[in-house]
Structure 1
Amino acid sequence: MRLSLPLLATLLFAAPPVFAQEKAEDPVIAEVNGVAIRESDLDAAYAELPEQYRQLPKEALLVPLRERLIDDELLRAEAERRKLDQDERVAREIARARARVMRAALLEQVIEEASTDERLRAVYEEMKAQPDFAVEEARISHILLDSEADARAVIEELDAGADFAALAKERSTGPSGPQGGDLGYLRKEALVPEFAEVAFALEPGTYTKDPVQTRFGWHVIRLEDKRRTVPSFEEVENRIREQVAREAITAYLDEARAKAEIVRDESFAPAPPASEPGGN
């Protein structure tokens, strides 16, 4: 059995519970009727915030988060006093929450056990053996100008034999002008699309015969060189870890399903009706 990527993504990344990291020192930041609220509790609450809140400086959220944790403890204690955990509906939700935490803890352990340095490096070597793993880089120079007319005037000077680097130093309004317009080696994805498409289509040693417009202005582009480079382990480590995690979870569930006795009610989700001949 192979899990689909969307399902694996759900298992791995869909709002798993946040486990508080163990700390050598975990100071108490508040007490509510003798119950300690620790810094690790605050860290976990911060990690659970929506992304837009986590864009704010963490220091700006410390006090509001601490007060929220105090409120949470007051509510929890009152729910316990009222024995709400004995309510059938609440008990089911508690069981679901416990199951979710246990699943996440198991997946975390399965992934950690699989993600040995030896395995990660082996996957990297496998990637390096693929013909499409190396990426194309281009060393590009450009002259940035304020208008199309200025750019065409520069192209006319280049056609007449002017030196590209000298013109860049004299005319370019971009920050690379003092370096003769040299941007160094870049990958296509590092550039705005309209610039990248033209630059990577040039032959080394040639320049654009028509100006290229981007949101930055008008460019005259020269391609100095092209090369293919192999990304370092560090550059692709996240991709490798995700691949190893997917493989580890798939293998674990394949084995677990093989050992389990699973009975399905086939009437639960009947197959969709077959399309009529010639139908869409």
Structure 2
Amino acid sequence: MHPSFSAAGVQRLFLNIGTAMRPRLSFTPLGLTCAAGLAAVIAGGGALLAADRPAPQPNPAATMPAPMPPGSTIVARVDGTELHLSDVEAAQQSLPPQVQKMPLAQIYPMLLDRLVDGMLITEAGRKAHLDQDPEVQLRLRRYEDRLIQEAYLNRAIKAAETEDQLKARYQTFAKEKAGREEVHARHILVKTEAEAKAIIAELDKGADFAELAKKDSTDPGGKSGGDLGYFGHDDMVKEVADTAFALPAGQYTKAPVKTEFGWHVIKVEDHRVSTPPSFDEARQEVSQLVAHDVVDAKLKELRSAAKVETYGLDGKPLPTSAK
């Protein structure tokens, strides 16, 4: 089911469309990826690419227009430059998630207007020779570099992500997961030791831990009763993990636990020895591990084949890092 937005609500969302369409960088196990893409740099989606296309030239020999491939339907012409449906669809994918999920027909008129506006602004900028501005050129080169990085790594990952490779990586993954001790715990996070002690006093009187977490915890997870789910020792902040793994099931801490985040009161619900998920259940996680392995291996390969020199802020050479 698509989210329902009023016309006014859609208008408000589109007030920020310019910001939403700026390229966003995300740091993932795959390395740098450009979330919006070079085509969204100036006008969002495909407007920049559309502005680069020459105006169509008539073909005297043609008696009937050739059928256009899906997505190439012309939706606008600006001074002879065509804007295609595929440009609109690409622009939609650069919008905030709640807008991406909306039916295209619902946002099409406003999105089309924004793309036309973008084409007009782009052309005005070209006439002002801003495409030759050094700052614009520098930014375009940086975006181009990031797109090339993404394409290069994605190609390497796609080549390595075979069914056999995924299953082989799953075997290692399953061994790491099997037999691991895990604990199911809840916690209440507060700012001061005095607050934590007051909560422990309420627990001693029989108060419900989950209800206190909902009422008093400053952690967003307090809304779910402070539930941390099952976790391994290395998955959690050390002070919390040490305390939780030492507590029997059903018990809570009699003294507050201090971490960099504040003061915690912790209750353990259960201890278990984990069993690994099936290949199908773990497929997405294993795929991410394979991608991470590919990127690491590729970076080592590239570094070993290149002469890399790095310098500190003082201009002195930095020691070669082992990567």
Quickly name the TM-score band, shorter chain normalised: 0.5 to 0.7
Which one of the candidate residues 70, 73, 76 is aligned to 1:25? 70
- Are 2:96 and 1:50 aligned? yes
Separation in structure 2 between the aligned mates of residue 135 and residue 62 of structure 1, nearest angstrom: 52
- AA aligned to 1:245 is A
| Counterparts in 2 of 1:18 and 1:240: CA distance versus 1, 3 Å | farther
Deviations 1:93-120 (A, max 9, x none): 1211211221121122122122122211
- CA deviation profile, 1:187-227 (whole Å, cap 9, x unmatched): xxxx9777x89xxx69xxxxxxxxxxxxxxxxxxxxxxx99
2:77–2:83 contact (8 Å) kept in structure 1:
yes
* Aligned residue number for residue 160 of structure 1: none
Residue of structure 2 in register with 1:130 after alignment: 176
C-alpha RMSD over aligned residues: 4.2
Distance 1:88 1:47, change over 3 A: same
Letter aligned with residue 86 of structure 1: Q
Task: State the one-letter code of the partner of 2:70.
Answer: E
Instruction: Look up the equivalent residue of 1:17 and give its one-letter code.
Output: G
TM-score, normalised relative to structure 1: 0.54
Do the aligned residues in 1 keep the contact of 2:181 with 2:274 (CA within 8 Å)?
Answer: yes
- Tell whether 2:29 aligns with 1:15: no
Out of 160, 179, 182, the residue aligned to residue 114 of structure 1 is 160
Equivalent residue of 1:129, what SS? Answer: helix
Residue of structure 2 in register with 1:3 after alignment:
none
Structure 2, unaligned runs of 5 or more: 1-25, 40-44, 46-67, 183-223, 231-248, 251-271, 318-323
- What code does the residue aligned with 2:171 have? E
1:83 to 129, 143, 146: 129
Instruction: Identify unmatched segments of 5+ residues in structure 1.
Output: 1-5, 137-190, 203-225, 272-280
CA contact (8 A) 1:107 1:249 kept: yes
Whether the 8 Å contact between 1:18 and 1:44 is mirrored in structure 2 is no
Q: Which of 62, 79, 90 is the aligned partner of 2:108?
A: 62
Aligned partners of 2:165 and 2:79: how far apart in 1? 49
The residue that corresponds to 2:285 in the other structure is 239
Q: CA deviation at 1:131?
A: 4.9
Cα distance in 2 between the residues matched to 1:267 and 1:193: 44
Instruction: State how 1:1-280 maps to structure 2 within 5 Å.
Output: 8-9=28-29, 11-12=31-32, 15=35, 17=37, 25-26=70-71, 27-132=73-178, 230-268=276-314
Residues 5-41 of structure 1 deviation map (CA, whole Å, 9 limit, x = unaligned): x965482556363889xx9512222222222222322
| Distance in 1 of aligned mates of 2:274 and 2:29 | 31
Q: Give the CA deviation at 1:66.
A: 1.9
Moved more, 121-130 or 247-256: 121-130
Letter in 2 for 1:79: G
CA distance in 1, matches of 2:154, 2:112: 27
Q: Is the 8 A contact 1:135 1:231 kept in 2?
A: no
- Specify whether residues 38 and 67 from structure 1 end up closer, same or farther in structure 2 by C-alpha distance, changes over 3 A only: same
* Deviation for aligned residue 1:76: 1.5
State the match for 1:167 in structure 2.
none
Alpha-carbon contact 1:134-1:228 (below 8 Å) kept? yes
The C-alpha deviation readout for 1:222-279, integer Å capped at 9, x for no partner, is xxxx9976523232221111111111111111111111112222344889xxxxxxxx
Q: 1:9/1:269 Cα in 2 relative to 1: closer, same or farther (>3 Å)? A: farther
Instruction: Give the fraction of aligned pairs with identical amino acids, expressed as a percent.
Output: 26
Supply the AA of the counterpart residue of 1:256.
Answer: L
Scaled by the length of structure 2, the TM-score of the pair is 0.47
**How far 1:125 sits from its partner (Å)?**
2.5
Q: 1:231 to 1:131 in 2, by over 3 A?
A: closer
Q: Output the CA distance in 2 between the equivalents of 1:134 and 1:42.
A: 49
Which amino acid in the other structure matches residue 101 of structure 1? L
Cα distance in 2, alignment partners of residues 65 and 84 from structure 1? 25
Distance 1:232 1:267, change over 3 A: same
